[in-house]
């Protein structure tokens, strides 16, 4: 571990003990400028972290930690194509995929931008031809439905973005199959017409068992209805493993590549975004990339004190390491961001859920927290009880648009906004025992009953929340929001001292599943497996009459 970071964190811990506000209500009452001091803006995005228990001294301590961990130096290394993913010896260049300035970015001495632009252009031509009907299915019918088959980063980004951009969706309907559970593909294909369906197989490695199994099922579905020779007209592929795509029998003209320097969870900007592009069109996909690029430039150039991703990262680190909060809730008050929390779970937890530092030494501090969430206002009627009164404070990250896309339903947008702002205020203010008692007495309750009930109606307050406010959820705004979170995860990873770009933790389960399949199939016995696994396999076999 980096000694300078250790020291800066130790100092921050002491500072926080002395200088972090103990009562957020008092902090706001004492300082009318608190919002101005602890919020930052970029374009129409406001990041408000004033309801977190920070002070000037705490922020200075956090900046010192970021400097000790060389967040800015490591950021520059990422942007310049250095191989910062050291366990896989790879550069980390999702920023190149949306490098709208076209500034050369070299990997192994070669500028990657010409290839990036060529793939984007090929995707654009294909997407527009599908949308216009110039490219049809084997029988000459226009494509009305696309089915993306992928999992993890080859699914979560495109699903999330397609849902988020519904008001811009004027292309074929988009469906997504990820789970190896046959129910997923069966339910998705039910009601679709093979003659008007285009299947996109999206897999960075083109070996992922879920994706390849579903791809073969879809292939049988097309071939069964239209004949083997129709398959080529109903499939497209996105992968870095072009040789494997060829083996599957895909048309090279419908194969879109990307590169090992694009992590799966950072790949929605690459050809993995093809279903989004077919849904909303090349121009809006371009605006999505523009938004991400704007945040990249901001992250790359803005001073720490004004840098939204760095600030969000520092607050996240503060909550995890100094305040010891084990999870954070991401609550979009924006129904179209309903899959954003799921998307962030992979982005955040696959990146920062690590147990060793960059040198392989066991971490002696925390790495990333559990990230979870659901849209508001739904969450209010489910788990917000625990957020308000549970024994473990959970920092909340709200996101909300000032304007919706439905002017005729603007009164609902106002209601949504009021709920979002009210929740963050309630988390911060809380309600004391005395206030609870007085409220009950004012309602006419007797003194004894009021004393009995009041403790149940106490809210401790001082529950931290961050609010990200933007004008409207456009493609550009969505691009910005995702990039903001990507760089927040990056910032935190540098302070944790970990490699955010590998994911060895997903391997063990995959290996064991491969070993267990012949056992479940009854081709091998359970010898060598623990008694729980063996016992469960025996019950499964009995239930299946085997």
Q: Which positions are annotated as active-site residues? A: 350, 381, 510
Residues in 186-225 at the binding interface with ligand F6P, rule: CB under 6 A: 203-205, 208, 211
Residue with Cβ nearer ligand F6P (350 or 357): 350
Shortest distance in whole angstroms from residue 177 CB to ligand F6P: 13
| Residue 492 backbone dihedrals phi, psi, to 5 degrees | -65, -40
Q: Which of 381, 388, 375 is nearest to 160 (CA)?
A: 375
> How many angstroms separate the CA atoms of 276 and 171, rounded?
9
Residue with Cβ nearer ligand F6P (58 or 271): 271
DSSP state, residue 149: E
Residues in 296-315 at the binding interface with ligand F6P, rule: CB under 6 A: none
Shortest distance in whole angstroms from residue 405 CB to ligand F6P: 30
Q: Does 94 bind ligand F6P (CB under 6 A)?
A: no
Shortest distance in whole angstroms from residue 134 CB to ligand F6P: 29
Cβ atoms within 10 A of the Cβ of 44, count? 14
Shortest distance in whole angstroms from residue 213 CB to ligand F6P: 12
Shortest distance in whole angstroms from residue 143 CB to ligand F6P: 23
Sequence-separated (6 or more) residues with CB below 8 Å from residue 149: 177, 178, 185, 199, 200, 201, 202, 211, 214, 215, 218
Q: What is the dihedral of CA 256, 259, 264, 268, to 10 degrees?
A: -50
- Contacting residue, 42, 65, 503, 519, with ligand F6P by CB under 6 A: 503
| Residue 227 backbone dihedrals phi, psi, to 5 degrees | 95, 150
500-523: burial string, b at 16+ Cβ within 10 Å, e else: bbbbeeeeeeeeeeeeeeebbeee
Residue with Cβ nearer ligand F6P (241 or 536): 241
Tell the residue number behind the tokens 């093809």, with chain if given: 274
Shortest distance in whole angstroms from residue 284 CB to ligand F6P: 24
Separation in Å, CA 497 to CA 69, 253, 315: 8, 42, 16
- The span of 8-16, 66-74, 137-145, 152-160 binding ligand F6P (CB under 6 A) equals 152-160
- Contacting residue, 147, 151, 294, 519, with ligand F6P by CB under 6 A: 151
> How many angstroms separate the CA atoms of 350 and 352, rounded?
6
Shortest distance in whole angstroms from residue 337 CB to ligand F6P: 20
- Contacting residue, 21, 61, 137, 153, with ligand F6P by CB under 6 A: 153
Residues in 36-75 at the binding interface with ligand F6P, rule: CB under 6 A: none
- Contacting residue, 152, 316, 332, 369, with ligand F6P by CB under 6 A: 152
Shortest distance in whole angstroms from residue 368 CB to ligand F6P: 15
Shortest distance in whole angstroms from residue 263 CB to ligand F6P: 7
CB 397 within 8 A of CB 331: yes
Sequence-separated (6 or more) residues with CB below 8 Å from residue 315: 49, 52, 54, 62, 466
Token pair listed for 394: 């959970």
Q: Does 154 bind ligand F6P (CB under 6 A)?
A: yes
Token pair listed for 313: 């990262």
Q: Does 345 bind ligand F6P (CB under 6 A)?
A: no
Residue with Cβ nearer ligand F6P (148 or 307): 148
Residue with Cβ nearer ligand F6P (162 or 503): 503
Residue with Cβ nearer ligand F6P (24 or 151): 151
- Contacting residue, 10, 209, 386, 506, with ligand F6P by CB under 6 A: 506
Specify the DSSP element, H or E, that contains 411.
helix 410-429
> How many angstroms separate the CA atoms of 534 and 542, rounded?
12
> How many angstroms separate the CA atoms of 341 and 339, rounded?
6
Cis peptide before 437 (omega within 30 of 0): no
Residue with Cβ nearer ligand F6P (271 or 311): 271
Q: Which residues lie across from 174 on neighbouring strands?
A: 146
Residue with Cβ nearer ligand F6P (154 or 413): 154
Q: Does 351 bind ligand F6P (CB under 6 A)?
A: no
Residue with Cβ nearer ligand F6P (2 or 217): 217
Token pair listed for 233: 């007209």
> How many angstroms separate the CA atoms of 176 and 184, rounded?
9
Site size toward ligand F6P (CB under 6 A) is 14
Residues in 257-276 at the binding interface with ligand F6P, rule: CB under 6 A: 264-265
> How many angstroms separate the CA atoms of 342 and 157, rounded?
9
> How many angstroms separate the CA atoms of 258 and 345, rounded?
23
Sequence-separated (6 or more) residues with CB below 8 Å from residue 433: 454, 455, 458
Residues in 375-414 at the binding interface with ligand F6P, rule: CB under 6 A: none
The footprint of ligand F6P (CB under 6 A) covers 151-154, 203-205, 208, 211, 264-265, 350, 503, 506
């Amino acid at each position: 571990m980096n000694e300078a970071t250790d020291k800066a964190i130790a100092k921050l811990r002491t500072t926080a003990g002395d200088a972090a506000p103990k009562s957020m209500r008092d902090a706001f009452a004492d300082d009318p400028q608190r919002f101005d001091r602890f919020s930052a803006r970029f374009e129409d995005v406001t990041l408000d972290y004033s309801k977190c228990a920070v002070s000037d001294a705490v922020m200075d301590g956090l900046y010192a930690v970021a400097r000790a961990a060389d967040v800015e130096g490591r950021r520059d290394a990422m942007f310049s194509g250095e191989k910062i993913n050291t366990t896989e010896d790879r550069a980390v260049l999702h920023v190149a995929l949306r490098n709208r300035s076209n500034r050369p970015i070299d990997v192994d001495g070669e500028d990657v931008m010409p290839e990036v632009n060529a793939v984007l252009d090929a995707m654009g031509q294909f997407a527009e031809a599908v949308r216009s009907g110039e490219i049809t299915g084997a029988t000459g019918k226009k494509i009305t439905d696309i089915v993306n088959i992928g999992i993890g980063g080859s699914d979560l980004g495109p699903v999330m973005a397609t849902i988020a951009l519904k008001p811009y969706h004027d292309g074929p309907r988009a469906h997504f199959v990820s789970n190896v559970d046959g129910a997923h593909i069966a339910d998705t294909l039910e009601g679709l017409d093979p003659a008007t369906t285009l299947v996109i197989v999206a897999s960075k490695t083109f070996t992922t068992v879920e994706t390849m199994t579903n791809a073969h099922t879809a292939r049988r579905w097309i071939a069964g209805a239209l004949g083997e020779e129709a398959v080529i007209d109903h499939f497209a592929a996105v992968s870095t493993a072009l040789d494997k795509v060829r083996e599957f029998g895909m048309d090279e003209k419908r194969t879109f590549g990307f590169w090992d320097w694009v992590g799966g969870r950072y790949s929605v900007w690459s050809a993995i975004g093809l279903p989004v592009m077919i849904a909303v069109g090349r121009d809006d996909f371009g605006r999505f990339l523009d938004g991400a690029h704007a945040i990249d430039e901001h992250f790359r150039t803005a001073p720490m004190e004004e840098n939204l991703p760095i600030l969000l990262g520092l607050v996240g680190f503060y909550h995890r390491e100094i305040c010891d909060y084990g999870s954070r809730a991401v609550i979009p008050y924006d129904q179209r961001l309903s899959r954003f929390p799921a998307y962030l779970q992979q982005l955040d937890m696959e990146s920062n859920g690590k147990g060793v530092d960059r040198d392989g030494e066991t971490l002696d501090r925390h790495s990333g927290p559990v990230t979870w969430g659901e849209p508001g206002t739904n969450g209010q009627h489910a788990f917000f009880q625990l957020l308000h009164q549970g024994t473990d404070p959970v920092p909340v990250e709200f996101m909300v648009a000032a304007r919706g896309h439905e002017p005729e339903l603007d009164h609902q947008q106002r209601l949504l906004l009021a709920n979002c702002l009210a929740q963050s205020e309630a988390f911060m203010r809380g309600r004391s025992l005395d206030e609870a008692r007085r409220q009950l007495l004012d309602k006419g309750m007797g003194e004894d009953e009021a004393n009995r009930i009041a403790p149940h109606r106490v809210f401790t307050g001082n529950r931290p929340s961050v609010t990200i406010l933007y004008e409207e959820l456009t493609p550009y705004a969505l691009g910005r929001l995702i990039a903001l979170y990507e760089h927040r995860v990056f910032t935190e990873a540098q302070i944790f001292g970990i490699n955010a770009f590998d994911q060895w933790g997903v391997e063990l389960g995959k290996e064991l599943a491969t070993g267990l399949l012949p056992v479940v199939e009854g081709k091998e016995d359970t010898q060598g497996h623990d008694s729980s696994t063996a016992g469960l396999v025996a019950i499964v076999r009995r239930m299946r009459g085997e």
